[in-house]
Amino acid sequence: MRFNTISRESNLPLIECIADHLRTLGVPLRLSWDDSRRKANLFATLGEGKPGGVILSGHTDTVPWDGQAWTVDPLGADLRTVAGEPRLYGRGSADMKGFIGLVVAQTQAFLDADLPHALHYAFSYDEEVGCFGAQTLLADLAEAGLPKAALPRLCIVGEPTSMVPAIAHKGVARWRCCVKGRAAHSSQTHIAVNAIEAAARLVAGLADMADDFAARGPRYAGFEVPWTTAAVGVIEGGIADNVVPEDCRFHYEFRALPGTDVAALQRRVEDHAASLVPAMQAVDAATGIRFETLCAVPPFQAALDDPAVRLAQQLAGTDRTTLVGFGTEAGLFQSAGIASVVCGPGSITQAHQADEYVSLAQLAQAEAFLQALARHR
C-alpha cells in the first residue's frame, strides 16, 4: 500500500516487488505492458503444467486523493482501532491492495498445498480509468497460445464485496464529446457558433435520458440503483466572458444494466448531435461535433449455479450472493470464456474516500477464504 500507484503514475515498482518475491519462490510469470512501458500487468502461475484452475484477480492502480480531507497518510498503511474495530488505513486498502497483499502472502502456502490444479495471479494496471490493463493481459494470454487444458477455468475478482460473492454488476461506457464552434466577439453572435451552447443542448439531452431511465426504464432488482444511469462528469470550454466560445468538451457515461444495448443509447446521443450540426454549419462549414470513446467496461452477470459462484460461496462459507453497482474486470474475464465471480474484503463505501480503510476482520475473512482455496480439491 505504500507504493504510489495512482492511475496517472507508474505501477512498475509494485509489480517488480511482487515479481521479485514470486521469482524467489520459483513461480513462473509473465509481464504485459502498456504502450509507454510505464505500466505492466503481472500474470503468474502456481503449478505450471497442471490443469487450468483458478485466477485470483486484482488491479494495482488506485484513485487519487487530491483535495480530500485525509487525517492519516494516504500511503501510510496505518493500523488504528476505531470504535473497537481494528482497521488498516490508506489509499487502496479496500480497493484493492488488501486483497492483493493477502494473495501474495499466501503464495508459499499455496505451493506447499500441492494443488491438483493450477492457480494464477492476474494483477493489472489502469482498472480505475477503464479496465485497460486487463484487456492487454487477456490479449497477451491469447497470443501466448496456451494449451486448452492449461487455460484458466474460473476467476475470482477480489473487489470489495464484504466477502459476499457478487454475481452481477453494470457495464460502464464513457465518451468525450468535442464541439467545434466559431469564435467571435460576444457582441457579434450572429456570425458565431457557440460551442458551449451546442454542448449544453447535448448535456440537457443526456439529463433527459437519465430521467427517462429512472422513470420508465427496465429494472434489475438487487442493485442499489436498479436502472441504467447517465451522467456528465467533466466539461470544459470558453476563454473569456466577451468571446463566443469556439470549443467545448465534455465527458459522459452510461452505467448500463446487464443486457442493455449501450450502442443504441450512444446512437441516440449522436443523432441528437447530428440534428444540431446543420444550423452550426450554416454559419461556418468548419464547425461540427465529434465523439471519442474513453472506455467500454462490459457488464457482468453470472448464474447462481455458475461454477465460479459455487466455489466462492463454498470458500466463503455462505449461501448468500449480492449485486454491486461498480464496474470490475469480471465481465472481461467472462467474455474471454472464464467463469467469474467478484468476492473480496472491505466495502465499496470506504473505497475512493478520504481515510479509506479495510477492517482487520474483513482481511481475516479473506485470508480464511484463501486458506480454504489451498485446501480445495
273-317 confidence digits (pLDDT tens)? 999 999 999 999 999 999 999 999 999 999 999 999 999 999 999
Catalytic residue among 95, 126, 127, 159: 127
Q: How many domains does the chain have?
A: 2
CB 135 within 8 A of CB 129: no
CB 314 within 8 A of CB 212: no
What is the value of pTM for the model shown? 0.92
The pLDDT assigned to 288 comes to 98
Helix (H, G, I), strand (E, B) or coil at 157: strand
- Give the structural domain span for 284: 171-297
What's the one-letter identity of residue 328? T
Report the chain's mean pLDDT, rounded to a whole number.
Answer: 96
- 330 Cβ contact partners less than 8 Å away, ≥ 6 residues apart: 155, 157, 169, 300, 340, 341, 342
**350 grid coordinates:** 470506504
Give the closest residue to 203 by CA, choosing from 232, 223, 175: 232
User: Do 103 and 20 fall into the same domain?
Assistant: yes
What average pLDDT score do residues 42-64 get?
95
User: Do 291 and 309 fall into the same domain?
Assistant: no
Give the closest residue to 170 by CA, choosing from 289, 259, 278, 273: 259
The pLDDT assigned to 265 comes to 98
The pLDDT assigned to 151 comes to 85
Catalytic residue among 61, 159, 246, 355: 61
**313 grid coordinates:** 460461496
CA atoms within 13 A on the CB side of 282: 6
Spatial distance between the Cα atoms of 348 and 345, rounded to a whole number of angstroms: 10
Please write the tens of the pLDDT for every residue from 55-101: 999 999 999 999 999 999 999 999 999 999 999 999 999 999 999 99
User: Do 135 and 279 fall into the same domain?
Assistant: no
Known active-site residue 61: yes
Whether 7 maps to a domain, the answer reads: no
User: Do 17 and 132 fall into the same domain?
Assistant: yes
Residue 127 sits at φ, ψ, to 5 deg, of: -70, -40
Better-scored residue on pLDDT, 147 or 348? 348
User: Do 23 and 161 fall into the same domain?
Assistant: yes
Spatial distance between the Cα atoms of 324 and 166, rounded to a whole number of angstroms: 7
Known active-site residue 197: no
